[in-house]
Each structure stands twice: as structure tokens, then as C-alpha cells.
Amino acid sequence: MTAVDIKLPWMSRSDRRRWRSARTISDLSELMALWLEGKIASRPGYQPRYGPDDETAHLVPSLAALCRAGYVTTCSQPGFAGTGADGLWWEQRAAVELVVTDPTLFHRLVDAAYAAGLFVRINDYRPDGGVQEEPVVATTRDGEAMTAFGGRISRADMAIQWPGLDRDLYREVSTGTYVSIIAPEYGTPGERLWVTLDFLTGQRQHDPENPWASSTRPADSASR
């Protein structure tokens, strides 16, 4: 008989313990980086025992570097333009959503994105209201909008995205700022988004073609 790899529809006890034991944003960021790299099978708010989608495999080094620089990535996609499995024309903007709780890291991220001409959307959930900027369409199918980055975040969204966290850490994450960075261009030209973010984190250095090569300190050198 041929062995079948069956993925159980729940997170393992060991993974649950790891995420529940996180106490700081740094702890949470490191766990997210390990999940991206395939070293943890499951993460909160995502289908258990599944890693990132295949289309984002080449983004893992950039996303893990963002996490280890103090950001928590929650969603991303590459730039793409072409015929989909349904035979229709699909276009994607490269995009990423992150949670930021450190003001210094927040301003460094937003300043770098604006300087590179990228779209920025800022959203946060707070009981007494917060910034809720309009979303940006990030994927189209035959010219019709399919998905967007940014948009209103609710209490229900937080509960779905971060189940099983330590109570104090959940409070910190749920009152943090969600930042969506989106390339203006559809397709592979928008992949420059990852170059900009790699310079921000120190993942890439010494490229004279990138204006951030000499003017931006790596985010991991920031005070936290």
C-alpha cells in the first residue's frame, strides 16, 4: 500500500504550546518566521498543518527578515500577471500586511514605503475607534476586483486571527497598527516592493540602484 500524507484538521499540542508560551512581540515574530521557514507546522488564524502558499515560496526570506526585524507579517502575495487555471486573465500587485507595535519601526516602514512610491494603508482596531483607511485592490480577474489589502479591522477579525495567544500579548497585538504595503504596478514590476523591504531589514545591502542602500539603517538596529 502507498502511504498517504493526511493533514489533521487541528494544530498539534506542541505547536499550541509554542504559540501560547509567546509573551512578547519578539517572541511572536520569531515564531512567525519559523512557520514561514517550515520549522513550525501551524500558526494561529491559518489552516492547521499548512505552510505558506506555493506562490509565496520565493518571498519567505524577505518575510522572515521582516519578522526578525520586529514586524509581524500576517498576509502577503507576489506580483503576477497571466492566465489562471480557469483560463481567465489574473493580475496581482505585490503586497504585504504587517502588525507593528513599535513607533520607531512603524515610521521607518512607512517612510521607506512612501519614498519608494508604494501604496500604504494604515488600519488599527481600538475599542474607542482608530485609523481605518480604505483598502487597495490587489488582485483582479478579467479586470474585476477579487481581493484587496487594507480595510476595516474589527474585534471579530482579531479573535479569528490570533486565537490561543497569551492574554497580555493578544492585547498588545490587537491594539497594534496594521500596515498594508502594496505595489502600484500589477505583475512582476511590483516585485520591487520586496527589494525596498529587504533594504529596510538589512536583507540586501550595497546596491547602488536602490536609494535606501545608503540612507536607511537596518530595522534590526532600531531600539525596541
Is the pLDDT score of 221 beyond 90?
Answer: no
Question: Whose grid coordinates read 479586470?
Answer: 143
Domains contained in the chain, number? 1
Residue 137 falls within a domain, yes or no?
A: yes
pLDDT tens column, 178-209: 999 999 999 999 999 999 999 999 998 755 55
**Helices marked H in the chain:** 13-21, 25-36, 60-68, 103-115, 155-161, 167-174, 192-201, 212-215
- The confidence score (pLDDT) of residue 223 equals 31
The answer as to whether 118 is a domain residue is yes
- Domain containing 191 equals 70-216
Q: Is residue 76 part of a domain?
A: yes
Rounded CA-CA distance 169/67 in Å is 16
Give domain status of residue 10, yes or no: no
Question: CB of 22 within 8 A of CB of 72?
Answer: no
Q: What percent of the chain has pLDDT over 90?
A: 75
Write phi, then psi, for 123 (nearest 5 degrees).
Answer: -145, 135
Tens digit of pLDDT for each residue in 74-117?
999 999 999 999 999 999 999 999 999 999 999 999 999 999 99
CB 58 within 8 A of CB 195: no
154-170, pLDDT tens digit by residue? Answer: 888 889 999 999 999 99
Residue 119 forms part of a structural domain: yes
Cα distance between residue 20 and residue 166, in whole Å: 5
Q: Provide mean pLDDT across the span 21-39.
A: 97
Given a cut of 50, is residue 121 above it in pLDDT?
A: yes
pLDDT top residue among 108 and 125: 108
Does residue 182 belong to any structural domain of this protein?
A: yes
Residue 196 lies in a domain: yes
pLDDT at 92: 98
Q: What is the pTM of this model?
A: 0.86
| Range scoring the smallest mean pLDDT among 4-13, 78-87, 88-97, 131-140 | 4-13
